[in-house]
Amino acid sequence: MTTIVARAAESNHWYGKDGKPAYSVIGANGKERSTTLRDARKMNLVPSVTTIIKSAASPGLEVWKLNQMMLAALTLPRVENEPEEEFISRIQRDSKEHAKMAAERGTAVHTAVESMYSGVMHAEFVDHQAGVYREIEKEFGVTEFQPEKAFAHELGFGGKLDLFTPKYQDRGLVIDIKTKEFGDPSKVVGYDEHVMQLAAYRVGVDLPNADCANVFVSVTVPGLVVINKWSQQDLARGWSMFQGLLSYWQAKNQHK
């Protein structure tokens, strides 16, 4: 069995001006630690696309967090004579633990799907992999991609694409994979942060007219996949929004 090594969240990532990831540094104590803004200033690094996007509110994410909190409140039994503050604290801890488990499962599925395009199959997630392969081929007629393409752009942002090919219809194709818990495809929708991310990615790899799509992979129903292809109008709007956030982030953090 092949071991799938889950990647860290891109929102914690930094990139050198040459596009090489700089996710961690060796601290003064000789131990490896995550790269900070202070490190980035010294090393002339650029932030990831998702770091920039996090400058804006994410309604979908906030709703999900609230739902996790409410589920914990409804299912967690209260201890007799337990102070309200302690009960609330336990609810918060419980909801965070459920969120952590869901995130870890989603990351494992995401990593497995990406690795499929490098020729690696994983027995535990083979249905997820097969579903993605089938739906992407059906929608775009493409089966070969360059996975995990890292970049840095002169405007001061970087990132790592899940899947892309410069050969698709002479424009290119950029795909970002999203894992989530769902069983009803009609309830899967794209948000502003999704189109901003893809718009920035296609500019970042010098494919400004590339087609872009989110591939939503169900964690709870193996093989269930929904593709949301963004229009060129949506992508132009996404790039405009991202540029606004980029200027805000650079001014706020005094780092360009």
Q: pLDDT tens digit string along 186-219?
A: 999 999 999 999 999 999 999 999 999 999 999 9
Question: Whats the size of the chain, residue-wise?
Answer: 256
Contacts of 241-245 with C-beta under 8 Å, sequence gap 24+, read 241/56, 241/192, 241/196, 242/49, 242/52, 242/53, 242/196, 242/197, 242/199, 242/200, 245/52, 245/53, 245/55, 245/56, 245/196
At 148, the amino acid letter reads E
pLDDT digits (tens, 9 = 90+) for 26-35: 888 888 999 9
Q: What is the pLDDT of residue 12?
A: 65
CA distance 151 to 161: 8
The stretch 85-95 carries a mean pLDDT of 83
Residue whose pair of structure tokens reads 């650029």 in the numeric block? 46
Average pLDDT of the chain to the nearest whole number: 89
Q: What percent of the chain has pLDDT over 90?
A: 68
Q: What is the pLDDT of residue 10?
A: 42
pLDDT digits (tens, 9 = 90+) for 49-76: 999 999 887 767 677 777 777 877 778 8
For residue 67, what is the enclosing H or E element?
A: helix 59-75
Q: Which residues contact 56 (CB under 8 A, 6 or more apart)?
A: 192, 193, 241, 245
Q: Is the pLDDT of residue 235 over 50?
A: yes
Is 49 in contact with 158 (CB distance < 8 Å)? yes
Please name which of 186, 182, 169 lies closest in space to residue 222, comparing C-alpha atoms: 182
Q: What is the pLDDT of residue 5?
A: 36
Q: Is the pLDDT of residue 130 over 90?
A: yes
pLDDT digits (tens, 9 = 90+) for 140-154: 999 899 999 999 999
Q: Is the pLDDT of residue 78 over 50?
A: yes
Strand, helix or coil for residue 61: helix
Q: What is the pLDDT of residue 75?
A: 82
Question: Could you give phi then psi for residue 114, rounded to 5 degrees?
Answer: -60, -45
CA distance 45 to 25: 12
Give the pTM: 0.84
Question: Could you give phi then psi for residue 178, rounded to 5 degrees?
Answer: -125, 130
Q: What is the pLDDT of residue 61?
A: 67
Question: Could you give phi then psi for residue 28, rounded to 5 degrees?
Answer: -60, -25
Least confident of 63-72, 116-125, 177-186, 215-224: 63-72
Bridge partners (DSSP) listed for residue 215: 177, 227
Bridge partners (DSSP) listed for residue 163: 147, 175
